[in-house]
Amino acid sequence: MSGEVAPPLGEAEQREIEAFVFREARLADTSQYGEWEALVTDDMHYWVPAGPAVGDPAAGLSYINDNRARLATRIRQLQTGKRHAQTPASPMCRAVTNVEAHRAEGGAGSDGAGDEYVVTATQVVYELAVQSTARLQLWPGRVTYRLRRVDGVLRMAAKTVELVTASEPQPNLTFLL
């Protein structure tokens, strides 16, 4: 593949990817934890760094740096109903825009199996901290998804959110960003 430009995505492929991203956003907004978790692969990595998303996540401290097992714990904790920091769940809505999708390097199987995409988008989450301060909190950031086709349907293998405010102290971030 080196030196070649990856073939552009077809219209249907692009629309399918955008539909996935918007569905993922809606499930996160509405705190539908089980349905959201069903979107991820067994090797999912969920990363919210404390600065730009460069370098090895293992080398520093991140706000969120979940492998699949830790993500499962996160979801399980939210589903106990006793996660005070997210009880009740924050009312939220997010605008996801500037969606750009590319085929991941080495993922262009002609039969569609093993297809993998890197998708970037801009996201702003509006969240009301009803659990305590009742403040409206804004979470602007750049999102990078790694999507993979598994048994014919798209799944999320990685989600990285680079918050605009990452270098500064954050309030509770216990919902799905």
Alpha-carbon distance of 102 to 117, in angstroms, equals: 6
Residue among 5, 12, 54, 59 that touches other proteins (CB under 8 A)? 59
Q: Site for other proteins (CB under 8 A): which residue of 65, 120, 122, 144? A: 65
Per CB under 8 A, the list member of 18, 23, 41, 50 interacting with other proteins is 50
Q: Is 102 in the site for other proteins (CB under 8 A)?
A: no
Q: Least distance from C-beta 161 to other proteins, angstroms?
A: 11
Contact segment (CB under 8 A) with other proteins among 34-42, 50-58, 93-101, 109-117 equals: 50-58
Give one DSSP letter per residue of 26-78, joined into a string.
Answer: HHHHTT-HHHHHTTEEEEEEEEE-SS-S-S-GGGS--SEEE-HHHHHHHHHHH
Structure tokens at 31: 């705190």
Return the closest-CA partner of residue 37 out of 72, 63, 77: 72
| Binding-residue total with other proteins (CB under 8 A) | 35
Is residue 63 part of the contact set for other proteins (CB under 8 A)? yes
Instruction: Among 93, 98, 135, 153, indicate the residue that binds other proteins (CB under 8 A).
Output: 135
Question: According to the binding rule CB under 8 A, does residue 173 interact with other proteins?
Answer: yes
What's the burial of 129, exposed, middle or buried (CB within 10 Å: 0-12/13-18/19+)? Answer: middle
Q: Which stretch binds other proteins (CB under 8 A): 65-73, 88-96, 119-127, 147-155?
A: 65-73
Structure tokens at 33: 């934890």
CB atoms closer than 10 angstroms to residue 171? 13
Instruction: In angstroms, give the least distance from the CB of 71 to other proteins.
Output: 12
CB atoms near residue 22 (< 10 Å): 14
Question: What residues line the site for other proteins (CB under 8 A)?
Answer: 48, 50-51, 58-65, 70, 73-74, 76-78, 80-85, 131-133, 135, 167-174
